[in-house]
Amino acid sequence: MGRGRAKAKQTKVARELKYHSPNTDLTALQRELAGSGKSDRDFDDDYKEYVDDDDEDDKDDDRNWSPPAR
């Protein structure tokens, strides 16, 4: 029976969001979207340690693989 109050509150909040536009700092938004053009980090180096360049080991692993016994 308490659903009526919850629904009324949700409707009120939705109406406020729909019809009330908050003050937006457009210059700050423009600065954020424009950015400086360079990042603080080099993302290519983050995964360098995970690169598997040794294909020969992979071939040996495939030959010796067998499914686990049940």
Q: In tens digits, what is the pLDDT along the chain, a chain of 70 residues?
A: 578 999 999 999 999 988 887 788 899 989 999 986 565 555 566 666 776 666 655 565 666 777 788 7
Torsion sign (Cα): 26, 29, 31, 37: negative
- The number of CA neighbours under 13 Å toward the Cβ of 43 is 2
What was the pLDDT predicted at 53?
Answer: 64
Structure tokens, 52 = 């598997």
What was the pLDDT predicted at 60?
Answer: 58
pTM: 0.31
What was the pLDDT predicted at 66?
Answer: 77
